[in-house]
Amino acid sequence: MNYRVIALMLVCVAVVAAAGCLGVPSKILEQSSGSTEPANIYQGSNAVRVSSDEGLSYGTPVPVPTAAPVAGSVPGIETRIIKTAFVTIEVKDVAGSVDAIRNLVTAKGGYLSSSSISEGYNNRLSGTVVLRIPQAEFDTVLAGVKAIGTVRSVSTHGEDVTEEYVDIQAQKTSYQNQLVQYNEIMKKAVNVSDVIEVQRQIDRVQTELNRLEGRLKYLNSRIDMSTITVNLQEPEPVGGETGHSFVTTINEGISGFFGMIDLIIIILFTLLPLMILGAIGYGIYRWRKGKQPARAPAELTEKK
């Protein structure tokens, strides 16, 4: 047999085998052969098996969440801004100022999210309050807070979350459409395995929906109700941080007295080895001097 004919036949066999490997899914082949086994409905990367008396049926593909348009690229998209502010003010009465801020915020439809007052050295009070107020009243309340005392520092920040907000809404709509599709598939499922698979997909979609709805609620809360954190502190007393006090002066004098005694004791014990060595040396000197013979006065005069 001609080798060229054999080679051509082998090439044809390889082409047919490759076509079989890359051909239609086995479920379609089963349907065409009249099989009554449950068929697969392919939706993106997931395959949901449903039973049908008419063999394989293809439903409307379940939409996959897509990215939302970039904020500002589509006209009519409302800008979403989270506003926050941090203020440090000096007031004469911290407790009274907290009450004044509470009344101001309540009158503007807001509330105190948290508040704390602490006492420092020399009975000097300080406090921190966190305000939640409607975004429309943000500037008004901020101006009212600054008017309560002397402003030491103030900073404001606006976080644009429009893109995230729109993206979450788009994902939520897509998952809602998926949920409708899976519920329709559930009505047609008759086998237990089909019901379990579809229910699993429904639970997955519902979990994603709950997560997105929770994130939207959080964003809406931060957007609708702005946050202002106010640090309150009383002014420094006249004469310094602690002011003038005779009792404090006496206490400091007593403390200095005992401190001096402590210093003397420390120096004494530090120099004690040198003092001991000096005493020993002086004793040796006196001992050696005592052993020398005494000289007569005449000898001393002659030497002079």
On the CB side of 112, CA atoms within 13 Å amount to: 15
How far is it, in rounded angstroms, from Cα 193 to Cα 50? 9
On the CB side of 58, CA atoms within 13 Å amount to: 7
Spatial neighbors of 235 by CB under 8 A, at least 6 apart, are 90, 92, 150
Q: Taking a C-beta distance cutoff of 8 angstroms, is the pair 84, 228 a contact? A: yes
Q: Taking a C-beta distance cutoff of 8 angstroms, is the pair 249, 215 a contact? A: no
The pair of three-digit structure tokens given for residue 214, joined into one six-digit string: 């929770």
How far is it, in rounded angstroms, from Cα 81 to Cα 67? 20
Spatial neighbors of 286 by CB under 8 A, at least 6 apart, are none
Count of CB atoms situated within 10 Å of the CB of 234: 19
What is the reported pLDDT for 27?
A: 37
Residue 97: which of 125, 139, 58 has the closest Cα?
125
What is the reported pLDDT for 246?
A: 66
What is the reported pLDDT for 298?
A: 54
Q: Taking a C-beta distance cutoff of 8 angstroms, is the pair 50, 41 a contact? A: yes
Alpha-carbon distance values, 15 to 3, 5, 23 (Å): 19, 16, 12
How far is it, in rounded angstroms, from Cα 137 to Cα 111? 12
Spatial neighbors of 129 by CB under 8 A, at least 6 apart, are 98, 101, 102, 112, 114, 115, 116, 229, 230, 232
What is the reported pLDDT for 25?
A: 38
How far is it, in rounded angstroms, from Cα 269 to Cα 133? 67
* CA-atom Rg of the chain in angstroms: 46
What is the reported pLDDT for 249?
A: 76
Residue 161: which of 121, 219, 122, 246 has the closest Cα?
219
pLDDT per residue rounded down to tens, the chain (304 residues): 455 545 556 545 554 444 444 343 333 333 333 333 333 443 433 444 443 333 333 344 444 444 444 444 445 678 899 999 999 999 998 989 999 999 999 999 999 999 998 887 667 888 999 999 999 999 999 999 999 999 999 999 999 999 999 999 999 999 999 999 999 999 988 899 889 999 999 999 999 999 999 999 999 999 999 999 999 998 876 555 555 566 677 878 888 888 889 889 999 888 888 888 888 888 887 787 777 665 555 554 555 5
Please give the backbone phi and psi of residue 230, each rounded to the nearest 5 degrees, phi first: -115, 125
Count of CB atoms situated within 10 Å of the CB of 303: 7
How far is it, in rounded angstroms, from Cα 225 to Cα 134? 4
The pair of three-digit structure tokens given for residue 24, joined into one six-digit string: 């239609």
Q: Taking a C-beta distance cutoff of 8 angstroms, is the pair 86, 154 a contact? A: yes
Specify the 3-state DSSP secondary structure of 22.
coil
